[in-house]
């Protein structure tokens, strides 16, 4: 007999950065990024505990290439916490591009976690900022509710989903990434590298149909 893992009261769904700027034609477009929305909405209607994250940067954020003369997106800069990859300006707090995809059923969220709001510190993961030590508070939130398992969907599979999944494992959560509910930037093979890395660290990859059978 199959257990319906989704109905377990100890599981949460984390929808990562399903925002306009990561959609096709957005400032930091993920190919087919909008294809995650129906799958994610299915999760939003089934899970009992729901977290949504929102990439939320001040203007002139440390990760914006436009801030450094002569630098381009994908170049890197050295920061106080190590190497930081540069991106086009994206998800500026309060902007249209930072808004959730219009079809995302945001009202189902229990909590919306905004990350990357410190001008001099980026935050890919929903658990830690990019210095790998400043906590966002999400682990505490989950533990206070006795949630020990997270299912992740959203964007981008090889950046913020990847780092959320790896940090979830580092913090001893059971972590699943839902195949149909993620899409990646896939820069120079980063997507397959990310799946490999997640697998090595014990992140479980699961198909949507397996979840709701
Ligand atoms: C992301 C790059 C920069 C993401 C956020 O949500 O994956 N990627 N900021
Ligand atoms: Zn960002």
Q: How many whole angstroms from 159 Cα to the centroid of ligand 2? A: 9
What is the C-alpha R_g of the chain? 16
pLDDT tens per residue, range 109-144: 999 999 999 999 999 999 999 999 999 999 999 999
Q: Which atom of ligand 1 is nearest to the CA of 161?
A: 7
pTM of the model: 0.96
**Does ligand 1 come within 6 angstroms of the Cβ of 56?**
no
State percent of the chain over pLDDT 70.
96
Domains of the chain by start residue, with CATH: 8-59+89-211 (3.40.50.850)
Ligand (nearest to CA of 90):
2
Ligand 1 centre and the CA of 10: distance in Å?
28
Q: Which residues contact 179 (CB under 8 A, 6 or more apart)?
A: 205, 206, 207, 208
Backbone φ and ψ for 143, nearest 5 degrees, come out as -65, -40
pLDDT tens digits for range 16-25: 999 999 999 9
């Amino acid at each position: 007999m199959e257990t319906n893992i989704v109905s377990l009261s100890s599981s949460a769904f984390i929808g990562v950065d399903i925002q306009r700027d990561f959609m096709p034609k957005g400032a930091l477009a993920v190919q087919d990024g909008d294809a995650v929305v129906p799958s994610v909405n299915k999760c939003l209607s089934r899970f009992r505990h729901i977290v949504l994250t929102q990439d939320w940067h001040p203007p002139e954020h440390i990760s914006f290439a436009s801030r450094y003369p002569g630098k381009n997106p994908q170049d890197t800069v050295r920061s106080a916490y190590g190497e930081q990859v540069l991106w086009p300006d994206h998800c500026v707090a309060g902007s249209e591009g930072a808004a959730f995809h219009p079809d995302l059923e945001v009202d189902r969220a229990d909590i919306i976690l905004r990350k990357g709001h410190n001008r001099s510190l980026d935050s890919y993961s929903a658990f830690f900022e990019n210095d790998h030590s400043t906590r966002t508070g999400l682990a505490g939130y989950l533990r206070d509710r006795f949630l020990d398992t997270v299912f992740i969907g959203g964007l981008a599979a090889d950046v913020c989903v990847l780092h959320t999944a790896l940090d979830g494992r580092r913090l001893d959560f059971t972590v699943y990434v839902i195949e149909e509910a993620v899409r990646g930037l896939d820069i120079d093979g980063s997507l397959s590298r990310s799946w490999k890395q997640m697998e090595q660290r014990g992140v479980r990859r699961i198909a949507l149909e397996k979840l709701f059978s």
